[in-house]
Amino acid sequence: MPVPIPRQRAVPAAEGGQAHAAPHDQAAPAHDTTGTGTGTGTGAGDGNGSGTGSGTGTGTGTGTGLSLLVIEDDPAGSLSVPELLDSAGKPIRIRTARNLTEAERLLTDDVHCILLDLALPAPGAAEADEDELVALKHVLRLAPRHAVLALTGDGDAERGAEAVRVGAQDYLFRDELDTRLLSRAIRYAVERKRADAAQRQLTESRLRAQENARLERGLLPTPLLEGSPLRFAARYRPGRSRALLGGDFYDTVRTPDGSVHVMIGDVCGHGPDEAALGVELRIAWRALTFAGLCGDELLSTLQKVLEHERADEEIFATLCTVDIAPDGRRAGLCLAGHPSPLIAREGRLAELLPYEDSGPALGLLPRARWPRKQVELGGKWSLMLYTDGLIEGRIGQGNQRLGQEGMVEMVRRQIAEGLGGDELLEAAVNEVRDLNGGDLTDDVAVLLLDRAPGAR
């Protein structure tokens, strides 16, 4: 049998328990209607759990079931809310407020759903206000995370539908409130609100991910090789999950004199700060290269950039630069703590470029020097630059690493199988991953420059 909604007695907020939610180990405050009713009569509970209920005893507010806040002002007392149970059979706790100001005090974190009488005026609203949903809009601003049920007059479906369009989870007719309908509506509204919140968070997360992907993709280099006969290919796999950009970086450009300059580097670490620093070093390298710097002068300047931009003095970066002469037959090589490139010449097995007098990684020694070594490339060749992520993957179940020797043997075999360009890089990265038994934890960058015979 429906139980009339008890009226809130006029007490200060602190006395009535309105300033804070009632602790779970205390009885519900005066505005709670979940009593401990034990009789079978029809008398209304007094809100303190001591009155006789409708025959089914309810808890004292110590459970974790749903809680409903009813906001209405019905001088005739015609509105009554039946005793309600949630899907687990626990009583739904009911609080009442006669106006929106009082509702704001009662709207604590343990309230799950709000039942709002659409006829209720909003605070400060003029009597002639033509907006019939002003109270609902006020509640939606007041409780954006709560489920809201709109209560409208019998047959006023248009107003109820408009309430749903504004933001309510559902609407009910005043004269149709019964236990089954209202209990189901409350559960539905709460779950729909949770689903809407989860969907909104998922959408926001996807938008952030898409924006990050666009940003990272925009930071990846675009080779500037217009007019050069050299062919370029690259593969890049960051170690960070779901990232497009890691601490590895590379670039290649052709300067007006016809020389082709290529570099690859690795900032220690794998986070977004290291990725940002790698982008800064790459852009600085491109600008300095177009300004005519190379060798020790360029690397010394890059070290200054690193020292000013790094977040910690222990952060360093390895680097390999190759400056290919306009005729494509020779190059200048500088190594700053970075593994030496691999070259495959026509009629010869692939091998590492010899370079014993390499300099230290950038950021380790304040007055370091990086000698530049001249190397002969030949007529037809393929030059592969890579970061240590390609050679530090494990082989099998033990701790043995692929290493540079293992990488050279692997590339020799793949070249013998007729692979080259993009196919060669893809096969190399995939095989290293397979040997590791899964995704590599370190960033991997590898690029390839090819010069065909007869190229000018």
134 token code pair: 């002003």
**Rounded Cα–Cα distance for residues 199 and 202 (Å):** 5
The string of DSSP letters for 272-330 reads HHHHHHHHHHHHHHHHHHHTT--HHHHHHHHHHHHHHH-SSTT--EEEEEEEE-TTSSE
- Residue 168 near residue 149 (C-beta atoms within 8 A): yes
30 token code pair: 């005066």
**Rounded Cα–Cα distance for residues 342 and 318 (Å):** 17
Q: Residues, the chain, total?
A: 456
**pLDDT for the residue numbered 44:** 37
Helix, coil or strand: residue 78: coil
249 token code pair: 């970086």
Q: Per-residue pLDDT tens for 268-304?
A: 987 788 888 999 999 999 999 999 999 999 999 999 9
**pLDDT for the residue numbered 227:** 94
- pLDDT, tens digit only, all 456 positions of the chain: 443 443 333 333 333 333 333 333 333 333 444 433 333 333 333 333 333 333 333 333 334 578 899 998 765 555 666 677 777 778 888 888 888 888 888 988 889 999 999 888 766 655 545 577 888 999 999 889 899 999 988 778 899 999 999 999 999 988 777 778 888 888 888 888 888 888 888 887 787 676 666 556 656 788 999 999 999 999 988 876 656 678 899 999 999 999 999 999 999 987 788 888 999 999 999 999 999 999 999 999 999 999 999 999 999 999 999 999 999 999 999 999 999 999 999 999 999 998 888 999 999 999 999 999 999 999 999 999 999 999 999 987 778 999 999 999 999 999 999 999 999 999 999 999 999 988 888 899 999 999 986 555
Tell me the fold of 221-451.
Phosphatase 2c; domain 1 (3.60.40)
Neighbours of 303 (CB within 10 A): 26
- pTM of the entire predicted model: 0.58
**Rounded Cα–Cα distance for residues 345 and 343 (Å):** 6
Q: State the span(s) of the chain assigned CATH 3.60.40.10.
A: 221-451
The architecture that CATH gives domain 67-123+130-200 is: 3-Layer(aba) Sandwich (3.40)
List the one residue out of 395, 376, 394, 359 whose CA is nearest residue 451: 376
The residue assigned the tokens 């989870």 is: 169
Compute the CA torsion angle 196, 201, 205, 206 (nearest 10 deg): 0
Q: State the span(s) of the chain assigned CATH 3.40.50.2300.
A: 67-123+130-200
242 token code pair: 């779901």
Instruction: Give ∠ CA 295-272-393 in degrees, rounded to 5.
Output: 75
CB-based contacts of 422-425 (< 8 A; 24+ apart in sequence): 422/233, 422/235, 424/233, 424/382, 424/448, 425/233, 425/234, 425/235, 425/384
> Which value, in Å, is the radius of gyration of the alpha carbons in the chain?
36
| DSSP 8-state secondary structure symbol assigned to residue 175 | G
List the one residue out of 447, 330, 342 whose CA is nearest residue 377: 330
124 token code pair: 């400060």
State the helix-helix crossing angle for 134-142 and 157-166, rounded to 10 degrees.
Answer: 30
Cβ contacts of 50 within 8 Å, gap of 6 or more: 35, 36
